[in-house]
Amino acid sequence: MNIAIIGTGYVGLVTGTCFAEIGHHVICVDNDPEKVRTLQSGGIPIYEPGLEELVPRNVAAGRLRFTGSVAEGVEHADVIFIAVPTPPLPDGSVDLSFIEGVAREIAACLTSYKIVVDKSTVPVKTGEKVAETIRRYNRAKVEFDVVSNPEFLREGSAVEDFMHPDRIVIGVSSPRPVPRMREIYAPIDAPVLVTDINSAELIKHAANSFLALKISYINAISVICEASGADVQEVANGIGLDKRIGRRFLDAGLGFGGSCFPKDLSAFIKIAEQLGYDFGLLKQVQLINAQQMDRFLRKITDTLWVLKDKRIGVLGLAFKQNTDDVRLSPAIEVCQRLLREGARLRVYDPRAMEKAKAVLPPGPTVEYVPERDAVAEGCDALVIATEWPEFKQLDLERARRTMTHPILFDGRNLFDPREMERLGWVYKSVGR
């Protein structure tokens, strides 16, 4: 099938590439000429495991190409996916101007029946607005259908999530587009839920908000564990064995970040408010998340006393492992707050250092270190801020020898407290 993807961010590029991989002919559209040139020349503007192999392979096979023209994408495609950004506004609601703009562009180009699919994360009732916009600006007055097909892709495992999803959600207002949508996803073995558009749009926000709630819940439990002498990892293992609960998203730490959870949580609270419901539960999720960062920073200041002119090594800048994305990264927030207290930083991340430089410029107070085990040299303390597996292999003996004093603040609970004590470290983790 011929497919157009409008927007080549994390969602759009992964979706388009994976559709090509399963046999469709895909044209990806983006309004950033530099990004289009990068993709056309074989470059990948983001780090996502699997993309470096899949993009060139499908370009070479003639199933994947890139353009800056919406008109070219619409002409090529039977089905058009909208995967443009939906950034937050200052009040927590969603900026839908990119969605509206693309809907208008699609409308101006429509000359025959097309299926227009919202892939971006949008508030409930957005599909109705997209359909209204296309009807209003389509001079040819051709028939079309709008479909909601929310994505459930986790950065760092997005290709795997696309190829092996828990479910595929298709929201429609008429049965006409359903067979074609099923055909698109036919090569993927997963349950398909066909529902109305409003329900499909709510599923995405409800799912992300529930996962954020699980993270804040275990972080709240971590506070009780510290106060009582319990171990939050043991508690999480115990409750996670309950099949009704499950172990995933029960890792205590610095709190959630990234481009999805904080934005989607704020948006869902605002959506509920606009529908007449005060979602106090989710407001508490936000509060717990903010307090978790405060508690972690307090451990650092309580231990080091004065941070001014202290040299601190920070391992991790991405908001999570297996990505170079630093948007709303808890690790970046740790760095910024330490800098505000006058600390000097030595920082390292396996993938995110180049992108981090845009929000954490290198200079006299921030030194980017090219090698993990060199970060500790001359430092008064180390901080683990991202759960990269390679940080578990940190050369602790080398770090101990080269530091002023062996102090480690582990925001991701990567090491065993008893072993760290045996090795002579002052070790502070979360909920243990």
Residues forming the active site: 260
146 strand-pairing partners: 116
Q: Are 83 and 17 in contact (CB under 8 A)?
A: no
Kindly compute the dihedral angle of the four CA atoms of residues 303, 423, 315, 217, in this order, to the nearest 10 degrees.
-70
H-type helices in 308-405, by residue range?
Answer: 330-340, 353-356, 396-402
Give, as one character, the DSSP assignment of residue 362: -
Give, as one character, the DSSP assignment of residue 416: -
Give the integer Cα–Cα distance in Å for 237 and 250.
8
Q: What are phi and psi of 154, to 5 degrees?
A: -95, 130
CB-based burial of residue 251 (10 Å sphere; 0-12 exposed, 13-18 middle, 19+ buried)? buried
Give the integer Cα–Cα distance in Å for 288 and 255.
8
Q: Are 264 and 289 in contact (CB under 8 A)?
A: no
H-type helices in 306-394, by residue range?
Answer: 330-340, 353-356
Give the integer Cα–Cα distance in Å for 258 and 264.
10
Give the integer Cα–Cα distance in Å for 10 and 33.
17
Other residues' Cβ atoms within 10 Å of the Cβ of residue 108: 15
Q: Which amino acid, 43?
A: G
